[in-house]
Amino acid sequence: MFLPNKMTKVNVVVLSKYLSALTEALGQSGLLHLVNAAAESRGKLLKNYDTGVDIREIERQLNRCEQLLEALGVDTAGEAPSITHLSQDEITDLFGKIDRLYREEAERVNKLLSEHTGLSHSDRMLADFPLQSLRLDALRNLSQLHVEIGVLSDDAFVRARTALSDDALFIQFPENNGQVLVVTNRKKHFAVDDALDKFGFDRIELPDGIENGTVADQRKAINSRLEALSREINATRLAIVGLGEEYGGMLLAIRKQLRGLMVMRQAQGLFGQSRQLFCIAGWLPTENLPKLQKLVDASTEHTGVIEATDAEDVPRDDADAEQIPVQLSSNGFTRPFRMLVTNYGTPNYRELDPSFFVGITFMVMFGYMFGDVGQGAVLALVGLCLRLSKKRNEAAKDVGTLLLCCGGSSMVFGFLYGSIFGIEDLLPHLWLSPMHDIPKLLISAVGIGVIFLSVSLLINIINHLRIKKYYKGTFDKFGILGLLFYWACLGVGIYVLVTKRFAPWQMVFVIVPLALIFLSGPIHHFLHRPREGEEKPGLFNVVLEGVVETLETLTGYLSGTVSFVRVGALAISHAALCLAISNIMSLTGSGIGGTIGKILISIAGNALVICFEGMVAAIQCVRLEYYEMFSRYFQGDGIPYQPFHFGQDKNG
């Protein structure tokens, strides 16, 4: 619960011919957190296994596969069938074949669509032609007359007909949106055309490629061809869909294989190589070491060699000590609060896991600020529904556990406050009333803060002692001397408040720890021997740092303790908002209408309080956890345990 799982560093040495089999077995097992074997080899005896060329080729094939899947309209979320392993050349040949078949059908569709578009345009032009029964060959073969068809506004039609009455005949077709037929002598048609342009005559040109016959006959022929084209287009598109049905499963399986191969090559980029030997370095939980041994033996025909080193045996000043991944043990209670911890950072391997402490402190502070039996029960009920729902994922269930715990804490403090749905007259308060015992409420909040900060300091001291940093664990402002200074200040303050007396000798307990914190820098300056290449700071800088450290100690403990006053202040705010809702309910009249009004106001008001005050209380809890407690004991510079694993892409 408080310590991460024990880890073991392993170096697996394997012959090159077994490399692929072992890599795939490791990816399927998800046992090993890989590290760079070449970078950690002693004397740089190993070089990195160069997989860059393979990775680029796999990326190229993956992109081509995605393009083919999209072109063929294959559902990419579908399940890939199982197929035999294909070589890179086989995949390339198959992609070429599918691409060729698709392009043939796609080009045919484009040609048919182009013809369909042109004929549709011609049909629209002929549809606007006013004389559907007119033979086009007769119109084209007139020897003495010239015919123009176009559009003129009503006003322009009247003026044009008047101006050209001696040179042209005008026939208007009002039902065709102002279309006009203009007949003139061929010798004069150029002059008439120029005059028509001045009146805004918009000519309707006959489409190219129209055969002789009536306009209606031409439209009938065009529509017949359009129907045939539509059938051909649909048939060709169905052929493309058929390609997707024929090759879609194969493409999904190849994509799955390529993704798995990509993960393998990326992992192999961390392997070390020396001629025909490869070294795979990584970390795994100590309890899984026998599983790894069996896996290596099975994949290498008992030729693979494993060198194992417990994390506890790694020197603390070794580079490997900073790279130990952390696998935190989990249970139903601590897991949702671990989300708060990992959002801030991952505890390093030598640190205590603060999840349990965070869970307790978060629940207490939330309940203190949001104490109400009814509102807490609503939160707990919502959390229970999320927790028991079978359709929810693990994250939603963790949120449900968080709400369940916080709701339960709110109910406990609700009984202590005597509050149920904001009403304080139904239950006797077992401890205090937030609106009537404000001084006691605020002082208690500070008392809770003192306890939490003290535990935070104790955790910090334990963390330093575990990694044998005894000097820092003792002289640090958050170490043993810092804790003694904090308790001495509290003791003297409480003594003065209770007895109304002050004795100067009591300040010895305050001054001595503070003076030692100030002198910790100079003492370390004289006792510390710098490593080779490390420059020792000057005495003036050390003294200046001591002054700053002392001032930070004074202000840090004072501000950190006072910060918990806001826990009590938010408890008062919560009670005041509930009181306001009760007063609004009392303003409603009597009778059925008044009763219904009270019920509606109570429901709406409590919903507002649960959402708004619950959110504010949660935010304040997170703030106090991160800024007042984590800053005193939590490093958060660990590396999460992330084993090499294919996931669904490889395992289906």
Residue 206: what pLDDT? 67
- Write the CATH number of the domain with boundaries 1-50+269-321: 3.30.70.240
pLDDT in tens, 383-406: 999 988 877 788 888 899 999 999
Tokens 């031409």 belong to 218
The architecture CATH gives domain 52-118+218-260: Up-down Bundle (1.20)
First-to-last CA distance in the chain?
34
Residue 408: what pLDDT? 96
Please report, for residues 82, 115, 178, 552, the alpha-carbon distance to residue 221 in angstroms, rounded to integers and kept in the order given: 52, 14, 27, 93
Asked whether this chain's domains 1-50+269-321 and 130-205 adopt the same fold, the reply is yes
- Is residue 91's pLDDT more than 70? yes
- Is residue 208's pLDDT more than 70? no
Pick from 302-311, 456-465, 524-533, 556-565: least confident: 524-533
**Domain spans, the chain:** 1-50+269-321, 52-118+218-260, 130-205, 334-633
> Looking at per-residue confidence, does 12 or 590 come out higher?
12
- Is residue 650's pLDDT more than 50? no
- Among the ranges 149-153, 163-167, 416-420, which has the highest mean pLDDT value? 416-420
**What's the maximum distance between 2 C-alpha atoms anywhere in the chain?**
132
Average pLDDT, the chain: 87
> Looking at per-residue confidence, does 127 or 432 come out higher?
432
> Looking at per-residue confidence, does 104 or 215 come out higher?
104
Q: Specify which residues 640 forms β-bridges with.
A: 326
Tokens coding 79: 């399940």
CA-CA-CA-CA dihedral for 379, 380, 382, 387, to nearest 10? 140
pLDDT in tens, 65-83: 999 999 998 888 888 888 8
Residue 131: what pLDDT? 63
Q: Quick one: residue 227, left, alpha or beta (phi over 0 = left, psi -120 to 50 = alpha)?
A: alpha
| Spatial contact of 72 and 243, defined as CB atoms under 8 Å apart | yes
- Among the ranges 175-189, 272-286, 589-603, which has the highest mean pLDDT value? 272-286
Q: How far is CA 200 from its chain centroid?
A: 61
The one-letter amino acid code at 383 reads G
Per-residue pLDDT band for 652 (boundaries 50, 70, 90) equals: very low
Q: What is the mean pLDDT of residues 481-506?
A: 92
Residue 176: what pLDDT? 64
- Is residue 649's pLDDT more than 50? no
Q: At what angle do helices 19-29 and 215-268 cross, to 10 degrees?
A: 100
3-class DSSP state of 332: coil
Pick from 156-170, 197-211, 427-441, 464-478: least confident: 197-211
pLDDT in tens, 238-284: 998 899 999 999 999 999 889 888 989 889 999 999 888 999 999 99
- Is residue 216's pLDDT more than 80? no
Residue 213: what pLDDT? 64
- Is residue 651's pLDDT more than 50? no
> Looking at per-residue confidence, does 486 or 539 come out higher?
486
> Looking at per-residue confidence, does 376 or 40 come out higher?
376
Residue 454: what pLDDT? 97
- Is residue 531's pLDDT more than 70? no
Residue 77: what pLDDT? 84
Question: What percentage of the chain reaches a pLDDT higher than 70?
Answer: 92
Report how far residue 74's alpha carbon sits from residue 17's, in angstroms, rounded to the nearest whole number: 37
- Is residue 566's pLDDT more than 90? yes
How many H helices and E strands in the chain? 23, 12
- Write the CATH number of the domain with boundaries 130-205: 3.30.70.2750
